Structure 1
Amino acid sequence: MRLRHIEVFNAVMLTGSVSAAARLINVTQPAVSRILQHAELQLGFALFKRAKGRLSPTSEALTLYPHIERLFAQLDEVQRLSVNLKTGDDAKELRVLTILALSYEILPHAIKLFRVKHADVAITVKALHSPQIVTALALQEADIGFMFSPMVHSALEQEHLIDGRMVCIAPKGMLSARLLKRGSVTLADLTKVPVIGLDVSDPVGRSLNQACREAGVGLQFALTVQTYHSALALAHHGLGIAVVDTCTAVSADRTRVDVLALEPAVPVPIKALRPAGKPDSVVVRTFVRCFQQALAHTT
């Protein structure tokens, strides 16, 4: 299919008729019909069934359409990137992306440090999942992003800031006095208590599962959540032990939970990502250093 065929096919799928598709892409109705017929001729099968003035997609068209949608999403990314490349140098603000776990305690501390040196810079912050941060930075929709674990992408550069580690957040009374006195737990110590699991697609969740495999330990995941602070909240309510990063553990209410180190240590690397090939501004460099200082106070 040619690009023009794809454009017309997409318009008809969205609108359901030739006339509406013609209005959507600003061409004449006969032109849409002609392009659609040519596409079907080239493909060797029908894309639509005509009935009562409307077009119903064939099974072949329904099979094709998800691929067409992805193509248009990629074209949209190209358009957004071209706009950002044109206007990026004129931006008057610092655009920061961070995973949710770093947005509660670390980010506010970093902004306070940054304000001492750059009180007049407007800051826009978005808390996103790691894949969203990577996509937004690759499209130059932000200046800097912070997340756990490395993410390899040809359009991005990354800087290692610090290694956090996993810790256990245990509801009061759930762990023995012996473990509390020791101040640390092993994965084997957690086999007989309910543990709040983390999504396996999450970097910390993957690291936890890998540590369990290496230790030959099977944990009882009473609940599984997607975010670290959800795990922390469940621990606060006595529903299980949360195994989270040190940045999340800063928010723990020590009157309701005990915080213990996990041994042997399971590192949680924290990275700064930025668009590759784009010179760092003084503002971006300063903010990264402030973020690193904030991390040093809490990890």
Structure 2
Amino acid sequence: MRWRHVEIFDAICRGGSLTQAAQLLHISQPAASKMLATAEMQLGFRLFDRVRGRLIPTREASILAPYVARLHQNLDDVSQLARNLRSHHEGLWRIGSSPAFGLELLPVALSRCRQAHPAMSFELRTHHSGELLQALETRDLDMVMSFDQGESSGVQQQVLAHTELVHVTLPGVAPLRCWEEMAERAFIALDADDPVGAMVESLLQRYVPEVAPFMRVQTHYVACSLVVQRVGEALVDLVTARAMQSRGLAIHRLPEPLPIPVSILTAHDDAGSGSRERVLDHIRQALLECRFPD
């Protein structure tokens, strides 16, 4: 079955008639009729029965239909990949990030990058790790900034820098003097599937296993917002804490430092470029400036 036969078969399935199929393929009706006849002759069976002016798929055609649909989806995927590669070549950088970085750090870094390199353009998408990795593997994104380590065969990882886990409270609330004090505080926990959330969960299980968090949230800035609203206290990354500090947060160091790696994830066969390194230089600088407040 040649590709032109696949095209006429799919067009008739979608249009229901040779006239509609011809319009979809931008050919004449006689040409469409000839393509169908050639396809049926080569296959050795009819694909459609004519019923009251419409072409109805035969049993054999109904069996073929999902395979043909899959072929078209694969072609659409190839076309999308080609468009993505063309956009990349033209200087568009599509960056995905965890919500923590999209709040302030990446807007600052990309603003500086645009000032230094006006020919560059950007798309910035914030999402959670699973969706970002999927978009990276299909080339819908060029790079992902995440706390996740990107454990996937289709992804390569570069640790760009480290931030740290911090304790956020309302002003005037004392910092933790030891981990066991967590049992006396009302802590808002992060989703355990989140890399930082898993770190917090490990601390709770290790030092206060008898205490269950009274609230669990998916994003770090939601935890900070709840602290501002006097709901409780939280352990979050320093990047989010600094971005939310102006809303009335106090940021405390922990009883012992707990570094959090910040990774840049790219497709496994991405060889990198000077343009990408310039983008990463600005992101790295913004991370270095996101220090613990004096």
* Shift, 1:39, TM fit: 9.2
Q: Report Cα offsets for 1:178-231 as digits up to 9, x if no partner.
A: xx3xx5444321212211111122111111112222335444422211111110
**Shift in alpha-carbon separation, 1:185–1:115, aligned structure 2, 3 A:** farther
- Whether 2:227 is the aligned partner of 1:235: answer yes
- SS of alignment partner, residue 262 of structure 1: coil
RMSD (Å) for aligned C-alpha atoms: 3.8
Aligned to 2:53: none
CA distance in 2, matches of 1:247, 1:71: 45
Letter in 2 for 1:230: V
DSSP-derived class of the 1:231 partner: helix
Residues 114, 121 of structure 2: 8 Å contact kept: no
Q: Deviations over 1:106-160 (max 9, x none)?
A: 1122123323421231222111211122111211222221000301222222110
Measure the CA separation in 1 of the matches of 2:71 and 2:179. Answer: 45
> Is 1:248–2:240 an aligned residue pair?
yes
Aligned to 1:31: 47
Q: Choose the corresponding residue for 1:223, options 196, 215, 218.
A: 215
Deviation, 1:242, is: 1.6
| Alignment correspondent of 1:132 | 131
Inter-partner Cα distance in structure 1 for 2:254 and 2:74:
43
Residues 203-214 of structure 1 mapped to structure 2, 5 A cutoff? 203-214=195-206
Aligned residues of 1:193 and 1:220 also touching (Cα < 8 A): no
- Contact kept, 8 Å, 1:161 with 1:270, in 2: the verdict is yes
Q: Note the residue ranges of structure 2 that are not aligned, 5 or more in a row.
A: 1-8, 26-31, 34-45, 50-55
1:81 is the counterpart of 2:81: yes
- How many aligned positions are there? 256
User: Among 251, 254, 261, which residue is 2:253 paired with?
Assistant: 261
TM-score when scaled to structure 2?
Answer: 0.71
Deviation at 1:238, TM superposition (A): 0.3
| 3-state SS of 1:209 partner | helix
Contact 2:143–2:264 under 8 Å retained in 1: yes
State the one-letter code of the partner of 2:218: Q
Q: How far, CA to CA, are the matches of 2:197 and 2:216 in structure 1?
A: 10
**TM-score with structure 1 setting the length:** 0.70
**Secondary structure in structure 1 of the residue aligned to 2:153:** coil
Q: Structure 1 residue aligned with 2:182, among 179, 187, 190?
A: 190
Greater C-alpha Rg: 2
Pairwise CA distance, 1:40: 9.4
Q: Is residue 188–residue 213 contact of structure 2 (8 Å, CA) maintained in 1?
A: yes
1:230-253 per-position Cα deviation (integer Å, ceiling 9, x unaligned): 100000000011211010110233
Q: Is the 8 A contact 1:207 1:266 kept in 2?
A: no
Any unmatched runs of 5+ in structure 1?
1-7, 42-64
TM-aligned CA deviation for residue 290 of structure 1: 1.1
- Secondary structure at the residue paired with 2:81? helix
User: Does the 8 Å CA contact 1:97/1:145 hold for their aligned counterparts?
Assistant: yes
Instruction: Find the counterpart in structure 1 of residue 266 from structure 2.
Output: 274
Report the counterpart of residue 105 of structure 2 in structure 1. 106
1:115-154 matched pairs, under 5 angstroms: 115-154=114-153
Assess if the C-alpha contact under 8 Å between 2:228 and 2:247 holds in 1: no
Could you tell me which residue of structure 1 aligns to residue 40 of structure 2?
none
Contact 2:182–2:208 (CA<8 Å) still a contact in 1?
Answer: no
